[in-house]
Amino acid sequence: MAGEEMDTQRDYEDVLRLQIAEGVSELERPPAGQFLSALSCGLTLGLGVFALFLMGTLAAGSSALLFLDFLSRSATPLGSSSSS
């Protein structure tokens, strides 16, 4: 494979077809599986926001704002909390 160049380019219509097929297969899952997935997502988002507010409340009087910013960014899935 050292001399071969891998083709990573795909036509956008192929990508769209693949994405539609994947979405349809996800929609055809059993209702119990979709419910558990939605419940898990809701708990993750809700508890994540709760944890950020809790950390902010507990560290409100401290002078370690840089450390609080680091903690809040590490607590979010993408580390993209807004900084003031």
pLDDT at residue 83 tops 50: no
Q: Tokens at residue 4, please? A: 């071969």
DSSP for residue 6: P
Q: Find the angle CA(29)-CA(33)-CA(36) to the nearest 5 degrees.
A: 150
Percent share of the chain, pLDDT over 70: 70
Give the range with max mean pLDDT: 4-18, 33-47, 66-80.
33-47
Contact yes or no for 75/47 (Cβ under 8 A): no
**pTM over 0.75, yes/no:** no
